[in-house]
Amino acid sequence: MTHILHRAAKVVPPVAVSGAGVEIVDADGRRYLDASGGAAVSCLGHGHPDVVAALHRQLDALAYAHTGFFTSEPAEKLADRLVADAPEGVSHVYLVSGGSEAVEAALKLARQYFVEIGQPQRRRVVARRQSYHGNTLGALAAGGNAWRRRPFEPLLIETHHVDPCFAYRFQREGESDADYAARAAGALEAKLVELGPETVAAFVAETVVGATAGAVPPVADYFRRVRRLCDRYGVLLILDEVMCGMGRTGTLHACTQEGVAPDLMTVAKGLGGGYQPIGAVFLARKIFDAVADGSGAFQHGHTYMGHPMAAAAALAVQETIARDDLLANVRAMGDRLRLRLVERLGASPHVGDIRGRGLFRALELVADRATRAPFDPALKLHARIKREAMARGLMVYPMGGTIDGRRGDHVLLAPPFIVTEAHVEAIVDRLGEAV
């Protein structure tokens, strides 16, 4: 008997009771190798002693102080650190409690920016159909996932979606990456022109697409083209790195690998590594200045923003990653994971693609590799793989979404940054069996 409305209303999941390193243990003593980091969250694994100690210290000192009255030392230190290592042009961060809150705040900052600079007609948002930006009403409007949106339409923010996001199935036969990047950027430009760019506030995109399409990196030069279009048409570029950011792809920010800097950027998951709920919005100086020199305050706020416990956890997580040079391990183990997936599953007629960056990897499963035809959705293949993997003590993050009206099954892997070669072997072995 449960009184919680769980995700599947009638199914109660196993009860997690403890965790250490890359393992979670349930109430029956079963152990699960966390190859998904939950949902790409647990970048330091579970029970990391340095983070636990930092949380104990903060709890002893002060658990909570409302930002209407105080700032706090961990929040200030965290912000200093984030800005010091931020993409070019970022001058401030706005601290919230998770990914959806960060996306909401970024969308509202974009809107308020244009109000402050006297262009209030810039209200619309352009996003991509193969995207997930969160489940609150504004973030849901930005996301392109039709089945998530449907029960709640019409949604709150006028969003227009464009294609594609580079899931391999959308690249045309014989099309070069350069042509593909040009086609995708062309779709964005056509949309901006159609809408009237003077009505558009922002273009929002995940730098590497996460849950919806499964660790899909952009094609080279796409984001540079997007950056130029945003500049030409006066549209803000919001990068959503809630899932792919904070080291997951092998660099602290995924956009560094694309050679672009955003006007606003969201991070969450890996920021606090699951030790506390936390998210952040990075602001380019022009956004901060417009608000600070204009009305003087961002018209927004949440009770738990800048929470000292959350900031202390995030600070400890980020300091540990830097001290132990864990991004080098992300790159090395990410390459190893890709190689072992290719060796174990690459020849399967049902593996259409093995992709991703760093420790953000995915398999895409297809009925027929030659035609790239997806499996019949009625099979719920992704859900079966999750069950089979859990039965083998392995946590993976499978999704079967409608991508551009076409169904696809993929399995996302996002293990903690502390994985070893032995963990990679165990992940690939168990996943291979489950598939």
As measured in angstroms, the least distance from the Cβ of 211 to ligand PMP is 5
As measured in angstroms, the least distance from the Cβ of 236 to ligand PMP is 17
390-409 positions binding ligand PMP, by CB under 6 A? none
By CB under 6 A, tell whether 206 contacts ligand PMP.
Answer: yes
As measured in angstroms, the least distance from the Cβ of 222 to ligand PMP is 17
By CB under 6 A, tell whether 211 contacts ligand PMP.
Answer: yes
Cα 261 from Cα 236, distance rounded (Å): 11
By CB under 6 A, tell whether 146 contacts ligand PMP.
Answer: no
User: Could you tell me which residues come within 8 angstroms of residue 79 by beta carbon, excluding any fewer than 6 positions away?
Assistant: 92, 93, 95
* HEC assignment per residue over the chain: CCCCCCCCCCCCCCCEEEEEECEEEECCCCEEEECCHHHHCCCCCECCHHHHHHHHHHHHHCCCCCCCCCCCHHHHHHHHHHHHCCCCCEEEEEEECCHHHHHHHHHHHHHHHHHHCCCCCCCEEEEECCCCCCCCHHHHHHCCCHHHHHHHCCCCCCEEEECCCCCHHHCCCCCCHHHHHHHHHHHHHHHHHHHCHHHEEEEEEECCECCCCCCECCCCCHHHHHHHHHHHHCCEEEEECCCCCCCCCCCCCHHHHHCCCCCEEEECHHHHCCCCCCEEEEEEHHHHHHHHHCCCCCCCCCCCCCCHHHHHHHHHHHHHHHHCCHHHHHHHHHHHHHHHHHHHHCCCCCEEEEEEECCEEEEEECCECCCCECCCHHHCHHHHHHHHHHHCCEECEEEEEEECCEEEEEEEECCCCCCCHHHHHHHHHHHHHHC
Q: Which of 105, 243, 278, 312 binds ligand PMP (CB under 6 A)?
A: 243
Q: Which range binds ligand PMP by CB under 6 A, 240-248, 318-326, 361-369, 397-405?
A: 240-248
As measured in angstroms, the least distance from the Cβ of 289 to ligand PMP is 26
Among 224, 209, 221, 237, smallest CA distance to 179 is for: 221
- Between 245 and 334, name the residue whose CB sits nearer to ligand PMP: 245
By CB under 6 A, tell whether 356 contacts ligand PMP.
Answer: no
As measured in angstroms, the least distance from the Cβ of 133 to ligand PMP is 5
Q: Which range binds ligand PMP by CB under 6 A, 62-70, 97-105, 324-332, 423-431?
A: 97-105
Q: Which range binds ligand PMP by CB under 6 A, 26-34, 78-86, 98-106, 367-375?
A: 98-106
- Between 116 and 404, name the residue whose CB sits nearer to ligand PMP: 404
Q: Which of 23, 25, 26, 39 binds ligand PMP (CB under 6 A)?
A: 39
Q: Which of 19, 37, 45, 99 binds ligand PMP (CB under 6 A)?
A: 99
Is the separation of the CB atoms in 217 and 414 below 8 Å?
Answer: no
By CB under 6 A, tell whether 322 contacts ligand PMP.
Answer: no
As measured in angstroms, the least distance from the Cβ of 212 to ligand PMP is 8
- Between 399 and 428, name the residue whose CB sits nearer to ligand PMP: 399
- Between 167 and 366, name the residue whose CB sits nearer to ligand PMP: 167
User: Could you tell me which residues come within 8 angstroms of residue 419 by beta carbon, excluding any fewer than 6 positions away?
Assistant: 22, 329, 333, 359, 427
- Between 107 and 219, name the residue whose CB sits nearer to ligand PMP: 107
- Between 74 and 134, name the residue whose CB sits nearer to ligand PMP: 134
Is the separation of the CB atoms in 364 and 414 below 8 Å?
Answer: no
As measured in angstroms, the least distance from the Cβ of 399 to ligand PMP is 10
- Between 105 and 326, name the residue whose CB sits nearer to ligand PMP: 105
By CB under 6 A, tell whether 132 contacts ligand PMP.
Answer: yes
Q: Which of 22, 44, 90, 103 binds ligand PMP (CB under 6 A)?
A: 103
As measured in angstroms, the least distance from the Cβ of 108 to ligand PMP is 15
Q: Which range binds ligand PMP by CB under 6 A, 92-100, 313-321, 394-402, 409-417?
A: 92-100
Site size for ligand PMP (CB under 6 A): 15
- Between 99 and 247, name the residue whose CB sits nearer to ligand PMP: 99
255-274 positions binding ligand PMP, by CB under 6 A? 268
User: Could you tell me which residues come within 8 angstroms of residue 228 by beta carbon, excluding any fewer than 6 positions away?
Assistant: none
Distances (CA, A) of 273 to 99, 264, 277, 318, 353: 12, 21, 9, 9, 28
Q: Which of 163, 240, 353, 409 binds ligand PMP (CB under 6 A)?
A: 240
As measured in angstroms, the least distance from the Cβ of 346 to ligand PMP is 27
By CB under 6 A, tell whether 104 contacts ligand PMP.
Answer: no
Instruction: List contacts with ligand PMP (CB under 6 A).
Output: 39, 98-100, 103, 132-134, 206, 210-211, 240, 242-243, 268
